[in-house]
Amino acid sequence: MSKLSLDRILQSQGFGTRKYCRSLIDDGEVSIAGVVHDNYKETIETEGLVLTIFEEEWVYREHLYIALYKPANFECSRKPSHHPGVLTLLPEQFSWRELQPVGRLDHDTTGMLLMSDDGPFIHAQSSPKRHVPKIYQATTAEPVTPELIEQLKSGVQLHDEPAPLAAQHCVQRGEHQLEIVLEQGKYHQVKRMLAAAGNHCSALHRSAIGGLTLDALELEEGEWCYLTPEQLALLVPSA
């Protein structure tokens, strides 16, 4: 449990600079439980706090943990260069909070993207030492063969990698489709592994991270949701 001044609370939730947050409070734009609070120095208990700002409710969150169903042609960068950034799909307040992707998906790859403003969480979730499996659905240019599956499972050598990389699991899902599970998260790994095995990836979709599946979140492309503690627990690999 902690108390913060009202202007600090608004600033921490991404509503702008301290000066701007104070002006919102002075103008009577902030209410709690139906009561306007216009003293920016007032200290408020943050646990269970729900703010109403511009007639929209905002639950106080010390940190953001977001899952986004990333569409194609969006870049996983705060400073995109060729396509819109994924932050344009989210409320503007999240950008003020330094929300950033946990890892990356290529601009043409779709599927589950985690985002957070919690540095230790981002580091832990991105660390190869965590061995968090990520499940991808890949569409291939050439038909999937048993030999291709075996190569991906036994390991293929990629340029600039000291040792072959292998899929944790790989299974055919159609004539030109396979499901591949990876733990390493190397740059363009699925595409490069398929190319090294003699095929080509024409489309890629991430359907799950750890035990958290995109289907369970019931999101459409471009939609996002806050992750509950129970959902976050699914991101921790089982012992």
Q: How far, in Å, CA of 117 to CA of 97, rounded?
A: 7
* Among 171, 180, 178, residue whose Cα is nearest residue 141: 178
**Active-site hit among 26, 27, 106, 108:** 106
* Residue 106 is a catalytic residue: yes
Alpha carbon 192 to chain centroid, angstroms: 22
Planar angle of CA 120, 192, 164, nearest 5 degrees:
80
Closest CA to 170 of 189, 64, 9, 214: 189
Contact indicator for 3, 45 with CB cutoff of 8 Å: yes
List residues with catalytic annotation: 106
